[in-house]
Structure 1
Amino acid sequence: MKAVIYLSVLVCFLKLSTAAFANQIEEVQHYQAQQLVKGGKILSLDVTLAGVLAICHGKLIDAHLYQQNGKLRYEVQIRTQASQIVNLTLNASNGQLITPAELPSSCIAKPL
């Protein structure tokens, strides 16, 4: 009887640890990002930033590419002209904004 209980606990533990690894967020290395761009899986950071800076004029502070559950995203930090820090999450495949749902008011479009 004890063996059945121990085995059941072990199986539950293994299922939980597998689920934890499945949701793990991984930063994509530079060489991997290059391969993804070459393969057409994601937009380059330069192309993505050109789109972002057209809608939120400022200076890039930081950018990272992450993978979670098979989805790739850029997380960028921009200092706006109003000197506010804006954190944006973008779909790496198409450059579309994921979060925030709306750009903050400190994001001013690049002057034409």
Structure 2
Amino acid sequence: MSWNIFEKLKTVFMKVTQILVKLFKKTNKSTSLTPVSNVIATPTAHYEGVQTATIIAIPTNIAKAVVNCCLKNRIDLAEAIFRGFGYGNTKIVVTEKEIIAETSSGIVLLDPSKYRLSEL
């Protein structure tokens, strides 16, 4: 797998994060954070034996951007776990079955079937 594709994914992630940080500063609201569902009580989640990255807060738009980039470039989403994508203290783990994000309320499992390619 080409590192060039992963660099593109990282660039998309960073740009989206920067835009959202600016928006958060202007509005001073956290309404863009992912809705909490299926919260896991443990501080670190394991997905199919792989320890996930730590995530401080993850806006839905970042999750969509990462999934979109993976789909467009035919990247195995599970491989993103091992690449350590992140911007500052914000990281996301994406697999073929779910998007794993950690918010202040806990670790959130998002169903990627909600993010179809046409919607991204």
User: TM-score per shorter chain, which class?
Assistant: under 0.3
Normalised by the length of structure 2, the TM-score is: 0.23
Larger Rg: 1
Higher relative contact order (CA 8 A, sep 6+): 2
More strand per residue: 1
**Structure with greater proportional helix content:** 2
TM-score, normalization by structure 1? 0.24
